[in-house]
Amino acid sequence: MHVHILGICGTFMGGIALLARANGHKVTGQDLNVYPPMSTQLEEQGIALIQGYQAEDLKSVKADIVVIGNALSRGNEAVEYVLEQNIPYTSGAQWLAENILQQRWVLGVAGTHGKTTTSSMLAWILEYAGLKPGFLIGGVPENFGVSARNGELPFFVVEADEYDTAFFDKRSKFVHYHPRSVILNNLEFDHADIFDDLDAIKKQFHHLIRTVPGNGLIIYPHSDKNLQDVIAMGCWSQTEMLVEHHAPDQQVGWSVSLLNKDGSEFMVNYNNELQGTVKWKLLGLHNVFNAVMAIAAARHAGVPVKHGIDALAEFKNVKRRMEIKGKLNNITVYDDFAHHPTAIATTIDGLKQHIPAQERIIAILEPRSNTMKMQVHNKTLPGALASADKVFFYLPDDYAAKFDDTLEALGDKAEAYNNLDDMLDSILAVTQSGDHLLVMSNGGFGGIHQKLLDGLQ
């Protein structure tokens, strides 16, 4: 079958393309922005890519089915052509469910933050145990080098996203997956472009819970009130909780005891019994909690806790998650995907705990998500950036004014630019030995990481 994918260079749709190719289908695709690392990954697999959404290009493809990404809407030239010509079409989530996930033990990772990293941890623990899982992850785990693979039966790890499925299916993507093991990392308000309020997101999370079988397992942190609300709507499956601080009288559930405050070494406890110690490369309390929940989900699939602990010692993280892009003149440049105040705060805090007190963190932020542009996070963003020593915002003219109150709250610490080259010059002018340049964006950010490294030369 010839599968043609609209929006193929997004991490999710790119993963669908890789899975379709691995299952013997001819795969082609179109996207508005064809750029690495996804474009490189796809082309290496022999998948032809077309820049833009011209109907003429789609006409020449002659696909059997078109898989349409959720970034595309009515009015898009390619979408209109598919509808007018009555070409069979589906969503990425539905294609995955019908073609890959049937007869699989699906392990889903959902939540506002940490899905990609936790999914990568879980897939790696299963791999380390010799189970050769399939996976579809919204990033590139460095232990695997690809964002998706078919794997062997029965296990399949999927990053279970609450964003809507497609222009013709407004349910969250994760309701398609029917997981047996589920991690719920956390739940906050996000995606203001599709959800009216927090209750609307809770409702979708409860739809996910309704699909988990009675012998399935739901793992979630005890401290997250929003997830407690979701569970209280009705739960028909087994549950295990992560209690964030180990207490001697605690009898049930998972907990941690930090041995280093930066999260690089910690003890794992289950039902008040020490299971072992993780010593690894990742930082931050958020990653510690994600790791314990990944261990718990792998245990549900039959992997001993000790195997999970040993696997995490060799976990290499995910591209664009505190990824060091280079170090020059004792100045380190990082690439991080954080684009929500909570993720920004935990990322900065984890780095702050790790580096010497005299070294500075310079946060370089491109607040380009739809929710950011809708000013939903303006009141919490200054607090999220408070631990940084200096903050640079890249704000193109079309939405710069929306962040005036955020900049005012940050005072002299923050500077905003609508021109990338001007901002680069200003960053390089204030950078000194020992600085950590933390670049945070969910997009390409104009290749700023390499430009910073070139400037530091």
The per-residue pLDDT for 402 is 78
Instruction: Say whether both 296 and 413 belong to one domain.
Output: no
Asked if residues 179 and 213 have their Cβ atoms less than 8 Å apart, the reply is no
Domain CATH number, residue 31: 3.40.50.720
| Residue 216 near residue 181 (C-beta atoms within 8 A) | yes
Q: Is residue 38 part of a domain?
A: yes
State whether 158 and 199 are in the same domain: yes
State both tokens at 31.
């996207």
Structure tokens at 156: 């399949």
At 292 the pLDDT is: 97
Per residue in 157-168, pLDDT (tens digit) is 999 998 899 999
Q: Are residues 129 and 54 in the same domain?
A: no
CATH code for position 298:
3.40.1190.10
Query: Is residue 403 included in any domain, yes or no?
Result: yes
Identify the pLDDT of residue 86: 96
Whether residue 285 is found in the same domain as residue 170: yes
Please check whether residues 158 and 282 belong to one and the same domain.
Answer: yes
Q: How far is CA 213 from CA 105, 266, 431, in A?
A: 11, 32, 54
CA dist., res. 109 & res. 161, Å (int) = 8
Rounded Cα distance, 39 and 368, in Å: 21
Average pLDDT score over the chain = 90
Would 317 be classed as within a structural domain?
Answer: no
Domain stop point among 254, 286, 312: 312
Contact 337, 347 (CB under 8 A): no
Task: Report residue 365 as tokens.
Answer: 């932020």
| pLDDT for the residue 311 | 97
Whether the Cβ atoms of residue 136 and residue 23 lie closer than 8 Å to each other: no
Distance of CA 217 to the CA centre of its chain: 22
Overall domain count for the chain: 3
Nearest Cα to 332, choosing from 303, 364, 299?
364
Is 111 in the same domain as 256? yes
Interatomic CA distance for residues 178 and 212, integer angstroms: 6
Q: Residue 440 belongs to what H/E stretch? A: strand 436-440
Least confident of 131-140, 146-155, 273-282, 372-381: 372-381
* In the predicted structure, residue 28 carries a pLDDT above the cut 70: yes
User: Which pLDDT score, from 0 to 100, does residue 146 have?
Assistant: 86
Q: Over the stretch 240-283, which tens digit does the pLDDT of each residue have? A: 999 876 555 555 799 999 999 889 999 999 998 999 999 998 88
Choosing from 266, 282, 312, the residue where a domain stops is: 312
* Shared-domain flag, residues 28 and 133: no
Q: Token pair of 204, please?
A: 């979708």
H or E element, residue 323: strand 323-328
- Single-letter amino acid code for the residue at 152: E
Distance CA 260, CA 288 (A): 11
Helix, strand, coil in percent for the chain, rounding step 5 = 35, 25, 40
In this prediction the pTM is: 0.82
Q: Are residues 295 and 230 in the same domain?
A: yes
| pLDDT at 54 (0 to 100) | 93
Residue 318 lies in a domain: no
| C-alpha distances in Å from residue 248, one per residue of 164, 256, 257 | 42, 12, 11
The strand pair at 331-336 and 323-328 is best described as antiparallel
Q: Once rounded to an integer, what is the mean pLDDT over residues 183-192?
A: 82
**Residue 352 sits in a domain of what CATH number?**
3.90.190.20
Q: Is 330 left (phi over 0), alpha (psi -120 to 50) or beta?
A: left
User: Residue 131: which domain range?
Assistant: 101-312
Structure tokens that stand for 347 in this block: 């990322």
DSSP SS3 for 269 = strand
**Do 166 and 207 sit in the same domain of this protein?**
yes
Residues 194, 245: one domain? Answer: yes
**Section 26-43 average pLDDT:** 85
d(CA 271, CA 274): 9
Handedness of CA 415, 416, 419, 424 (dihedral sign): positive
